[in-house]
Structures are given as C-alpha cells and as structure tokens.
C-alpha cells in the first residue's frame, strides 16, 4: 500500500471514529443533564433520545468498514514505534472493534432489556428485604453474563472477558492472587484496629451550610489544578465525573449539611478522575485514545487525590486553618489532630460506600470472590446471601441483620452483568500508592509542597507519566513503564501501615 493510500485510509478511519465520539459525547451531555438539571417529566423522552444516540453509535462501531480499514492499516502501523499515536490508535481500535463485534446485537439488546427489569425489581426488593424477589432475575443475569463471556472463547477463566471490558489485560487468576495477598495483610490490620477505641468523628457531624461546603471543596479542587475554564461542578444524587472532550470535563457532588466529609471528599475524589481526563494529550482528543485507560487506573487517580493527598497530614497542615475560618463556630474548638483522626476513622462496617481506607478493600474483595464463584458455578444464587454473611464475619467480624445491608446492598449485580465491575475499585487503591510512591521517588519535595498548599509538581508528574497517554497503554503496560516492574501491593501496604500505624496500635 502506497503512502498516499495509507494517508487516505487513516483519515477515513479517524473521520469515522470522530463521528462515533461526537455521538457518545452528545449522549453524555444528555446523561449529565438528566442527573443534574432535567425536570422529572423529561425522563421518558430523555431515555429514548439517549437510546437512539447509543444505537447509532454502536452501529457505526461495528461497521465492517472499520474492520477493513484496520486490516489495511495494520501492516503499516506495525512499522511504527509501539508508543506512537498512530500505532496505539490502530492497536486500541482493533481491540475495541473485536470486543464490539463478538457480542451479537440481539444478545446485547436482550441483556439490556433484562437489566432494566432487574433494576426495577431490585429497587422494590431492597427496601422490602426480600432477596427471593430478585433471585430468579439474578440467576438470569448470571446466565446472560456467562453468555457474554462465552462470546470470547479461549479464555482462562470465564470472568476474564468481563474483567477485560473494564480493566483491559487483567485476568481473574492474577487479580485473585493479588487480592488474596492483600486480604492476608489487611484482615489482621482491620482486626487490630477494631479492638481499639474508635476515633471521635462527632466534629464532622455538626451543621455545615451547603454553600460554604461547596465553595471550600471547589477551592481545593482548583488548587489541585481543576480548571473551571475546562470544567464545572454541579449537584446530583450520586457524584460522578463525565467528559465531553479533553477541554470539557465536569464533576458533580452531593452535600449533606450534617456531614462535612460527604461533599468535600467526593469533590476531591471526582476531581482526581477529572484531572486524569483533562490531562490527556490534545493530540488524542476526539479519538478512542482520549480518556482513562482502565477502571483501575482511573480509580487510582480519584483515590490518590482524595486519600493520599486529601486525607494526609501535610494537606491539612496547610488547609485546616482555612477550613476553621470557613466554619468558625463549628470548628473553633476542634484541634487539627482531632479533625485528622475524624476524617481517617477506621471502623469495620456493613456498607461498602461508607467504608474507610483500611476496610474498603475487604468489601470489594468479598464481592469479587463471590462473583467468580457464581460464574464458575461453585456457588448458586440461592446460597449467595449466606455466603455473603459468612465472608463478612470472617473478614470484617460483622454480620448484617438482614439482606438489605447484605447481598441487596449494591446496585451492580442488579443493573448489568455479574463480573467485571468490582475489581477496579481495589486495583485503583493498590495502584494509587504505587504511583504516588513513584512520584515521591522522583520528587521527594512533594509532601513539603503539599504542606504549602501547592500541588503543581505532583500534578505535573502524573500528567507527564500517566495522564497524557490516555488509553495508549494498558494498565499493566503503564505500570511497567512507570515503575519498571509489575503491579504489586507492597507500596499500598507500606502506605497503610505508616499512616494507620501512627493512629492505631499494632498496625505498623
Ligand atoms: Zn471513582
């Protein structure tokens, strides 16, 4: 194939990809509006509008012409450096294309329809504490999940294809091994802390006016580097980040006037996600390479900015006085140390989303292991509630009084597939410390800078080493490039032992 023909075919591919990106971005704007400003009566037509855009985008993604263009361009792309924009584009689009075309549209439509019904059942079964009401539907979801996985024959574990959708390149066995290692370290730490007096977090549970909370959170986000010319914050029920282009990345938050930590840390969390998307190279904008590379790496950035920075002593050495000045009545008699202990309180609990840094991963690993067992067929849906309780007792020493705070707790299994959606949370925590340690190695002055309320060196390092690449590399490739080795739990365990060893006995 001649130069000219390569040029033309590449342009043709890029034009098609940009059109798909325009459609999905437009759908994202509709979805953002739906959860922020849309009046309730707009729901039915909004659902239809988003479905239409989604269908047209999907038709374009599975167009055989994309396959033909890839076939024609691959020999040329193989002559380019692996990390070049063009070679990466062809490689990633090939992977996405194969993933899209292998699942028959009929199966996808059936699953989506089933999931909508399953979600409805769950919204009723949960308040009624009635697992039997969702049991058959969940069994069907499990069956669909296996069917989706079986569209990708040749896997080592049936969960692998499902995991690959969110965390490309990760496999059930390697994640399971990593989590087993992590669990072995975490369970004794959590148990040692559970025997000690819990931190007093009553200082966070006073009345904090909404406007001041929002202003303080957004001030901190901007200090992190969140640019309001390229983003904005709005209120919603479930905080999220959404990206319409490299220059329009938005965050949402929710405020509880009787809990200071809710809006503040969810803002710092979503800001971390946003900094990642905003940091992608402009050269990749509008292409499938723009965006975070995996659920795990994305979560590593939200966790890094929320926890490793936002819940650290250096951060509050600088910002606590400012927080006190914002809420003088509430905090004037609360020492910085009391506040620090409150925002880092560890206590085994039943609810994943409310869990602290130490116990959070135990919640995730329980779900991950149960998912694998369900997919393997070594656990039946009928036995799931009891298996849940047994693991909570073994790992966290707590037992939910009912299934409401047990197996009915999370929406995930009742609104999509079983498998592939939980591992990213804990992979993210593990990676957050891995990347942070690497940044500190390159720039030992980072904590002192944070203590001055400045984050430029850390942000710059993350942009240079992680953000700008977008989806060019898989998580494992990125980790190898950044650390020179594979994913390991060591930095994360070091981080937890150092931080919580100072707050609790028998942890370090
Ligand atoms: Zn997140």
| Ligand 1 centroid, distance to 54 Cα (angstroms) | 23
Q: Are residues 84 and 204 in the same domain?
A: no
Residue 137 lies in a domain: no
pLDDT, one tens digit per residue, over 195-215 is 999 999 999 999 999 999 999
pLDDT, one tens digit per residue, over 260-273 is 999 999 999 999 99
Give CA separation, 158 vs 368, 375, 422, 452, in Å: 13, 7, 16, 49
Q: What pLDDT score does 507 carry? A: 84
| Ligand 1 centroid, distance to 292 Cα (angstroms) | 12
| Ligand 1 centroid, distance to 155 Cα (angstroms) | 28
pLDDT, one tens digit per residue, over 255-314 is 999 999 999 999 999 999 999 999 999 999 999 999 999 999 999 999 999 999 999 999
C-alpha 205/C-alpha 207 separation (Å) is: 7
Residue 152 lies in a domain: no
| 451 assigned to active site | no
Q: What pLDDT score does 279 carry? A: 98
| Ligand 1 centroid, distance to 153 Cα (angstroms) | 31
Is 134 in contact with 366 (CB distance < 8 Å)?
no
| Ligand 1 centroid, distance to 303 Cα (angstroms) | 7
**Region 176-184: what's the mean pLDDT?**
97
pLDDT, one tens digit per residue, over 74-102 is 999 999 999 999 999 999 999 999 999 99
pLDDT, one tens digit per residue, over 212-247 is 999 999 999 999 999 999 999 999 999 999 999 999
> Could you list the residue range(s) of the whole structural domain that residue 315 is in?
172-507
Residue 156 lies in a domain: no
Residue 142 lies in a domain: no
Q: Are residues 107 and 217 in the same domain?
A: no
Q: What pLDDT score does 508 carry? A: 81
Choosing from 132, 162, 190, the residue where a domain stops is 132
C-alpha 340/C-alpha 264 separation (Å) is: 14
pTM over 0.85: yes
Give the distance from CA 296 to its chain's centroid.
Answer: 6
Q: C-alpha angle with apex 141: 144 to 375, nearest 5 degrees?
A: 75
Q: Are residues 315 and 408 in the same domain?
A: yes
Domains held by the chain: number: 2
- Render the burial of 52-69: b for 16+ CB within 10 Å, e for the rest: ebeeebbebbebeebeeb
Residue 154 lies in a domain: no
User: Which of 113, 197, 270, 386 is flagged as catalytic?
Assistant: 270
Q: Are residues 119 and 223 in the same domain?
A: no
Q: Are residues 127 and 241 in the same domain?
A: no
pLDDT, one tens digit per residue, over 8-42 is 999 999 999 999 999 999 999 999 999 999 999 99
The CATH code of the domain that includes 416 is 1.10.1370.30
């Amino acid at each position: 194939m001649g130069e000219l023909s390569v040029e033309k075919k590449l342009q043709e591919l890029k034009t098609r990809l940009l059109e798909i990106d325009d459609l999905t971005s437009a759908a994202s704007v509709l979805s953002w509006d739906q959860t922020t400003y849309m009046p309730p009566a707009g729901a039915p037509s909004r659902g239809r509008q988003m479905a239409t855009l989604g269908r047209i985008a999907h038709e374009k993604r599975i167009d055989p012409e994309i396959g033909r263009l890839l076939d024609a361009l691959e020999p040329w792309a193989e002559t380019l450096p692996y990390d070049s924009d063009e070679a990466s584009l062809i490689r990633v689009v090939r992977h996405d294309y194969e993933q899209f075309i292998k699942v028959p549209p009929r199966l996808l439509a059936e699953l989506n329809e089933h999931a909508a019904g399953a979600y409805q059942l769950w919204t009723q079964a949960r308040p009624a504490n009635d697992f039997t009401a969702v049991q058959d539907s969940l069994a069907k979801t499990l069956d669909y999940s296996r069917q989706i996985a079986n569209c990708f024959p040749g896997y080592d574990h049936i969960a692998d294809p499902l995991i690959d959708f969110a965390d490309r390149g990760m496999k059930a066995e390697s994640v399971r091994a990593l989590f087993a290692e992590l669990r072995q370290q975490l369970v004794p730490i959590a148990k040692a802390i559970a025997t000690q007096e819990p931190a007093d977090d009553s200082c966070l549970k006073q009345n904090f006016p909404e406007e001041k909370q929002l202003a303080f959170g957004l001030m901190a986000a901007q200090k992190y580097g969140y640019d309001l010319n390229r983003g904005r914050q709005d209120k919603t029920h479930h905080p999220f980040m959404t990206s319409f282009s490299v220059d329009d990345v938005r965050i949402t938050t929710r405020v509880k006037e009787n809990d200071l930590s809710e809006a503040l840390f969810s803002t710092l969390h979503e800001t971390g996600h946003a900094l990642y998307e905003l940091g992608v190279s402009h050269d990749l904008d509008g292409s499938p390479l723009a965006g975070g590379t995996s659920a795990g790496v994305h979560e590593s950035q939200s966790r890094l900015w929320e926890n490793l920075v936002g819940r650290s002593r250096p951060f509050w050495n600088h910002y606590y006085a400012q927080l006190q000045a914002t809420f003088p009545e509430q905090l004037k008699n609360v020492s910085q140390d009391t506040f620090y202990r409150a925002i880092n309180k560890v206590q085994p609990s039943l609810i994943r989303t409310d869990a602290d840094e130490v116990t959070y991963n135990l919640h995730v690993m329980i779900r991950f292991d149960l998912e694998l067992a369900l997919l393997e067929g070594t656990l039946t849906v009928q036995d799931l509630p009891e298996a849940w309780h047994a693991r909570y007792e073994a790992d966290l020493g707590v037992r939910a009084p009912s299934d409401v705070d047990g197996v009915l707790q999370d929406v995930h299994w009742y609104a999509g597939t079983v498998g592939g959606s939980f591992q990213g949370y804990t992979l993210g925590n593990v990676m957050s410390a891995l990347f942070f340690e690497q940044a500190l190695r390159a720039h030992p002055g980072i904590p002192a800078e944070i203590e001055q309320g400045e984050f430029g060196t850390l942000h710059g390092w993350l942009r240079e080493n992680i953000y700008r690449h977008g989806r060019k590399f898989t998580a494992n490739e990125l980790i190898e490039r950044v650390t020179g080795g594979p994913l390991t739990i060591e930095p994360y365990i070091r981080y937890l032992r150092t931080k919580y060893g100072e707050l609790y006995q028998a942890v370090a």
